[in-house]
Amino acid sequence: RIGKKYGIEIFRLPKLHCSLNPIELSWNNLKQFVPDQSTTFRQDDVKLLIEQFMVAMDDERAMLYFHYARGIEEMYQTADAIMKKDIEQYLQSDSEETDSDDEE
């Protein structure tokens, strides 16, 4: 509520969920960037590549990670809604199950 009062959206990051956490997405890209760019794999060279990656992380690139995570979250929510709608008709509620047991 306090964030909304000042026009700030709070973005909660799920722990240990790589496709919904922008930090995990960035970390994954760093882990791909270093081997793709390194030819020597010496510690000093790897350190320089990590620094290059971090310097290139501007606001625009960081926002891309957040937008991507938001898109994945929306896809999961849509899939959940579809599954709930399509499967709900096949599920019995506890009260229906109890009623049918009483009739027997």
Neighbours of 61 (CB within 10 A): 11
Which residue has tokens 């979250």? 73
Please answer whether residues 72 and 61 qualify as being in contact, where contact means their C-beta atoms are separated by less than 8 angstroms: no
Residues near 22 by Cβ (< 8 Å), separated by ≥ 6? 13, 62, 65, 66, 68, 69
Please answer whether residues 69 and 21 qualify as being in contact, where contact means their C-beta atoms are separated by less than 8 angstroms: yes
pTM: 0.62
Q: What is the pLDDT of residues 6-60, one digit of tens each?
A: 998 887 777 777 888 888 899 999 999 999 999 898 999 999 999 999 999 999 9
